[in-house]
Structure 1
Amino acid sequence: MAHNRRDFVKKMAAAGSAFSLNSLFNVTHAADFAAANQRVQHLSPLEVAADETYWSTIQQGYTASSSSIIILNNGGVSPSPLVVQQAVERYNQMVNQGPSYYMWRILDQGREPVREKLALLAGTLPDEIAINRNATEALNTVIYGLDLAKGDEVIGTLQDYPNIIQAYRQRAQREGIVYKQLSFKFPIEDDEQIVREYEKAITPRTKIIHVTHVINWVGQIMPVQKICQMAKKHGIEVVVDGAHSFGLLDFKIPELGCDYFGTSLHKFLSAPVGTGMLWIKKEKISKIWPLLCNSQPKSDDIRKFETLGTRSFPIEQGIGEAINFHNAIGGKRKEERVRFLKNYWAEKVLKFPGVKLSTSLKPQFSCGICGVSIDGMTPGEVEGKLMAKYKINTSPTVWENISCVRVTPHVYTTLAELDKLVKSIGEIAAEKKKA
């Protein structure tokens, strides 16, 4: 038994970290991805988006591709590629050989390489990146960490994510800050209209503007950079919810011009469920109080936001393999492919009587998320039929002035699956018209 245990540990160690030459991704996919990339290297990302041979290589890396359910709710959470799943399982097995040793002395040392790779992906300094569990935790850290006084104003929207809305409302109830919410009727194909609405709401007491980069419900891409430029002219800081943009849209965080940015990594980056990231501009770190206690709460060390205690080290380490998978595709190729998939089905369903979209199909205003509705049916009814009869997983949305079914493909989604979605929506709309 002792001999078997030693062999197991040696095998785990030999497997290497996510960023070593013998990482799971390198062993499993590197050669195939390199060959696929070589074949399309002369094509633009937009041209590669429609190359089904290329994307079949990517699809093979996901176990979700063989699921009996068609998963079109990646806006909620995305399945991880197999190598990410295997990494988490491998590290979990390692930990359970001796938790206090392997967690604190081995895997805890692996956070810094992950931080460095996330920073490289985000275009930031490693010392501006904190690793946490999701966008809610990242953004709540900022929302509750800001020194806001009674009467100070925050501008957000009714279409922001509910957990974020509730955080600001709780500060308003408890401390007397003023939380003002704009309301937008999407889709909007005019950036300046959006910027003007934020600017009109500014008063001398406005301290923070909160912007959702990609609106969770319908996929509207907000003009974050333009809003940040406007806010800076008024001396106002900007908090960005990037839950649905990071790992999908091809951008670097500093390009946005914001001060704070939070995201979930288990959406379009396809990292393990329960992984997130917080970015704070270096000179702003010291003034943000940690959400969880730290011995030096006013430190300028980004790690003060990671004082979680015992956590899932295997899940954290799985982020590394997700980054490998993402980088092997390329950010711009990935963005164009997911947008191609969205437009592929969305343009087709518009031919059906009674079917409407809540999302622009122009590339500057949307990417992967699209809302669809059928006249005379609630989102719950449409979603229920898609799941019960066709085994298509989507998300019904009824929030403020938004009422639709959210459909979100990902890189593992096939055209055949989207053809089935189109056929299903056509049949449901036709049945409703006859009723």
Structure 2
Amino acid sequence: MTNDRRVFLKQAATLAGAFSVNSLFNQAHAAEWQKASQKINHLTPAQAAQDEDYWSVIQRSFTVNPSIINLNNGGVSPSPLVVQQAVERYNQLANEGPSYFMWRILDQGREPLREKLAGLAGVNPEEIAINRNATEALNTIILGLDLKKGDEVVGTKFDYPHMVQAYKQRAMRDGIVYTQVSLNLPSENDDELVKAYESAITSKTKLLHITHVINWVGQIMPVRKICDMAHAKGIEVIVDGAHSFGLLDFKIPDLGCDYFGTSLHKFLSAPIGSGMMWIKKEKIEKVWPLPSSGEPHSKDIRKFEELGTRSFPIEQGIGEAINFHEGIGSKRKEERIRYLKNYWASKVQQIPKVKLYTSLNPKYSCAICGVGIDGMTPAELDTALFNNYKIHIVGINIENISCVRVTPHVYTSLHDLDKFVKAIEEIAAKGKTSGSK
């Protein structure tokens, strides 16, 4: 056995990994990042967002394919190299003796991870469950609440399909009444957005469902105001934070909600297939777990983690993603990604036939922005961008919104965004024929 291997096994056995000073992040980036950060510590986060020398250091931490420009980070974001390495390293270890290394070594890393996630979320670790994505987290809550026939739930037509389907399933199975309100997006009117929910509430309404950042076009909702309104009427609130956690600088208690679910493989850049659920401590007991538990009415949040065999290496990868995120800083990261979005969006909105479907007001948007070209369907614009420019985005067609969704991340360069702006300009000038090259 080589010296390096002995060192690694010793570290694994003592739970070094992502939860100690010997983390891969500290080994690979701590010194360089500290040096780079010192040069911008005098700047506000908004000012630091425009310092390309600093962000070039962050960009080098990723292994993205240079042959395409990926602007669909709202779907799933790439992990930085240290996160990939953590997953690979601990997967190799697990396969040397799965039953031993998984259950007796790596399984012990979940509690340190729970504490790190709780610190990032600003909550009690005993309120955090670790799972695979926002769909699993939110479906657990939606299907686990004791809603009865005639109980009403209010959501919107812009909520994520997997959540909408969960409510419709409960309507079919249990006879609940599920109402979807319309929203006029983009919106910069909090009162109007709150009123949309409030107008659908009746004496039978038990639950509101709010998407914090609407995934289709990046609208940031006034969650706290909606929650306060609902609570004043004795109504509970679930928040879908799939596109806000790891992007916006907030703590879950700031929202005032009762339940929260998110994916960690979006803006936190954790391993693909990682998520988190938060339930207010006093409400854990009443929520039935989705995978069965021997004590379904336990007050222990761990009852929601009865998944059987899982990928323990992913949990180490989540820990390294948090290290990476905190190495940048939540507010600095939020402002950088917002700056990147505004950088391209403010340019393309000046181009004839181009329309934005997202507000550029920082209160109402951050990373995600929708853009369309008159006379082109989202599919046609998607095809033209990829076939002719190797730019990857995603088409959106929902309610009154017909556009492509564009989402940069911290690794995105201004050079790539300039290419995107030029592509939009050329496609808009040529029209539909631009996709037939």
Q: Note whether the superposition's TM-score is higher than 0.5.
A: yes
Shift of 1:8: 3.1
Q: Which residue of 2 aligns with 1:424?
A: 423
Q: Distance in 2 between matches of 1:67 and 1:308?
A: 37
Q: Distance in 2 between matches of 1:80 and 1:189?
A: 33
State the one-letter code of the partner of 1:78: S
Deviations 1:273-305 (A, max 9, x none): 000000000000000000010000000100000
Q: Distance in 2 between matches of 1:9 and 1:302?
A: 36
Shift of 1:14: 3.4
CA RMSD of aligned residues (A): 1.3
Q: Distance in 2 between matches of 1:9 and 1:98?
A: 16
| Matching of residue 282 in structure 1 with residue 281 in structure 2 | yes
Q: Distance in 1 between matches of 2:266 and 2:353?
A: 31
Q: Which residue of 1 aligns with 2:204?
A: 205
Q: Which residue of 2 aligns with 1:322?
A: 321
Corresponding residue SS for 1:368? coil
Moved runs in structure 1, 4+ residues, more than 6 A? none
Q: Which runs of 5+ in 1 are unaligned?
A: none
- For 1:9-88, list aligned pairs within 5 A: 10-14=7-11, 16-64=16-64, 67-88=66-87
Aligned residues: 431
Q: Distance in 1 between matches of 2:373 and 2:232?
A: 43
Corresponding residue SS for 1:63? coil
Q: Note if contact 2:183-2:196 (Cα within 8 Å) is conserved in structure 1.
A: no
Distance 1:383 1:296, change over 3 A: same
Q: Distance in 2 between matches of 1:129 and 1:190?
A: 33
State the one-letter code of the partner of 2:282: E
Percent identity over the alignment is 68
Q: Note if contact 2:133-2:264 (Cα within 8 Å) is conserved in structure 1.
A: yes
Deviations 1:402-425 (A, max 9, x none): 211000000000000000000000
Corresponding residue SS for 1:398? strand
Deviations 1:315-341 (A, max 9, x none): 121000000000010000000000000
Q: Distance in 1 between matches of 2:86 and 2:9?
A: 10
- For 1:167-182, list aligned pairs within 5 A: 167-182=166-181
Q: Which residue of 2 aligns with 1:118?
A: 117
Deviations 1:201-241 (A, max 9, x none): 11000000000000000000000000001011000000000
Q: Distance in 2 between matches of 1:7 and 1:61?
A: 23
Q: Distance in 2 between matches of 1:400 and 1:168?
A: 19
Q: Note if contact 1:91-1:314 (Cα within 8 Å) is conserved in structure 2.
A: yes
- For 1:266-345, list aligned pairs within 5 A: 266-345=265-344
Q: Which residue of 1 aligns with 2:390?
A: 391
Q: Which residue of 2 aligns with 1:349?
A: 348
State the one-letter code of the partner of 1:348: K
Q: Note if contact 2:218-2:367 (Cα within 8 Å) is conserved in structure 1.
A: yes
Q: Distance in 2 between matches of 1:39 and 1:14?
A: 33
Q: Note if contact 1:150-1:176 (Cα within 8 Å) is conserved in structure 2.
A: yes
Shift of 1:13: 3.1
Q: Distance in 2 between matches of 1:9 and 1:430?
A: 62
Q: Distance in 2 between matches of 1:146 and 1:87?
A: 36
Corresponding residue SS for 2:105? helix
Q: Distance in 2 between matches of 1:208 and 1:167?
A: 14
Shift of 1:9: 5.3
Q: Distance in 2 between matches of 1:142 and 1:433?
A: 44
Q: Distance in 2 between matches of 1:431 and 1:49?
A: 34
Shift of 1:131: 0.2
Q: Which residue of 1 aligns with 2:195?
A: 196
Q: Distance in 2 between matches of 1:55 and 1:13?
A: 35
Corresponding residue SS for 2:403? strand
Corresponding residue SS for 1:203? coil
With normalisation by structure 1, the TM-score equals: 0.97
Shift of 1:10: 4.2
Q: Distance in 2 between matches of 1:54 and 1:417?
A: 17
State the one-letter code of the partner of 1:207: K
Q: Distance in 1 between matches of 2:397 and 2:312?
A: 36
Q: Which residue of 2 aligns with 1:245?
A: 244
Deviations 1:148-175 (A, max 9, x none): 0000000000100000000000100111
State the one-letter code of the partner of 1:399: I
| Matching of residue 236 in structure 1 with residue 235 in structure 2 | yes
Corresponding residue SS for 1:18? helix
Q: Distance in 1 between matches of 2:312 and 2:6?
A: 17
Q: Answer with 74-83 or 185-194: which moved more.
A: 185-194
Shift of 1:11: 2.6
Corresponding residue SS for 2:384? helix
State the one-letter code of the partner of 2:42: H
Q: Note if contact 1:9-1:94 (Cα within 8 Å) is conserved in structure 2.
A: no
Q: Note if contact 1:12-1:90 (Cα within 8 Å) is conserved in structure 2.
A: no
Corresponding residue SS for 1:373? strand
Q: Distance in 2 between matches of 1:419 and 1:87?
A: 33
Q: Distance in 1 between matches of 2:420 and 2:10?
A: 45
Q: Distance in 2 between matches of 1:361 and 1:337?
A: 14
Shift of 1:351: 1.5
Q: Which runs of 5+ in 2 are unaligned?
A: none
State the one-letter code of the partner of 2:10: A
Q: Distance in 2 between matches of 1:434 and 1:195?
A: 43
Q: Note if contact 2:182-2:196 (Cα within 8 Å) is conserved in structure 1.
A: no
Deviations 1:329-371 (A, max 9, x none): 0000000000000000001001111100100000000000000
State the one-letter code of the partner of 1:278: M
Q: Which residue of 2 aligns with 1:225?
A: 224
With normalisation by structure 2, the TM-score equals: 0.97
